[in-house]
Amino acid sequence: MKKVVILWSSPNKDGLTASAKNQFVHGLAEKGVQVEEIHLNSKKLEHCRACGNGWGSCNKTGSCVIGDDFSEIYHSLTEADGIVWISAVYWAEMTECFKAFFDRLRRCDAAHNHFLAGKRCVLIACAGGTGGGALECLQQMERGLTHMRMRAYDRISVVRYNREYILPALITAGETYAERLETGFDMYY
Ligand SMILES: Cc1cc2nc3c(=O)[nH]c(=O)nc-3n(C[C@H](O)[C@H](O)[C@H](O)COP(=O)(O)O)c2cc1C
């Protein structure tokens, strides 16, 4: 059985981001995938301190000096077959909670461990205001993913104007991702 970790961030447990997450999880569950949902806003996650000379000890050890929930979440990601990154869009970027985790993950994984290299991910940005900024948020996610040598299988923009047709499609997206995890990804790179 394949395992997928859903990393998601929004303070609203019944908002647009949560709806998008639930739909994708629904699709994964239809295909029998084991899902672990991690709600980053509920976790204790400090910001990177950029310690030492700026590179920090993570550059040499692959672990972070801060003793909060970071390591446990990182460990879950290393064991996952697939990872889905879902964030509300704030200021055309991922949320601050998401960024706090993402920054530290990138340092440990890209600079030292490479545990996540090769994983194929789905990126979902939920912009509930004007809808502007979703693409920038997806780009921000993908840039970090690239540093960690992961790959985006899809990048999905959810806005309040497309929710009527995107939310139902997210079930199919979850099902399709689950199938690709089983049978291989139809990508040329
Ligand atoms: C600080 C802040 C910044 C935001 N920036 C944007 C933005 O750049 N573009 C946008 O469309 N919506 C923006 N929004 C609206 C959020 O994307 C909106 O709350 C969205 O629905 C988040 O999903 P939720 O329902 O899970 O909260 C912002 C909201 C906050 C609180």
**Local confidence pLDDT in tens for the 189 residues of the chain:** 999 999 999 999 999 999 999 999 999 999 999 999 999 999 999 999 999 999 999 999 999 999 999 999 999 999 999 999 999 999 999 999 999 999 999 999 999 999 999 999 999 999 999 999 999 999 999 999 999 999 999 999 999 999 999 999 999 999 999 999 999 998 877
Which residues line ligand 1 at a C-beta cut-off of 6 Å? 10, 12, 15-18, 88-92, 126-133
Question: Hey, which residues does 126 pair with through a beta bridge?
Answer: 88, 158
Cα 132 to ligand 1 centroid, rounded to whole Å: 10
User: What's the pLDDT at 142?
Assistant: 98
Ligand 1 pocket test, candidate residues 40, 89, 130, 138, most atoms within 8 A of CB: 89
CA distance 17 to 158: 8
Superfamily for domain range 3-45+54-183? Flavodoxin domain (3.40.50.360)
Q: Which residues of 3-22 are buried (b: 16+ CB within 10 A; e: fewer)?
A: ebbbbbbbeeeeebbbbbbb
CA distance 189 to 187: 6
Hey, CA dihedral for 29, 33, 34, 35, is it positive or negative? negative
Rounded to 5°, angle at Cα 66 from 112 and 36: 75
Question: Hey, which residues does 39 pair with through a beta bridge?
Answer: 8
Q: What is the pTM for the complete model shown?
A: 0.97
For residue 66, give every residue at least 6 positions away whose Cβ sits within 8 Å of its Cβ, in sequence order, or none: 46, 49, 104
Residue 126 in contact with residue 86, Cβ under 8 Å? Answer: yes
User: What's the pLDDT at 188?
Assistant: 78
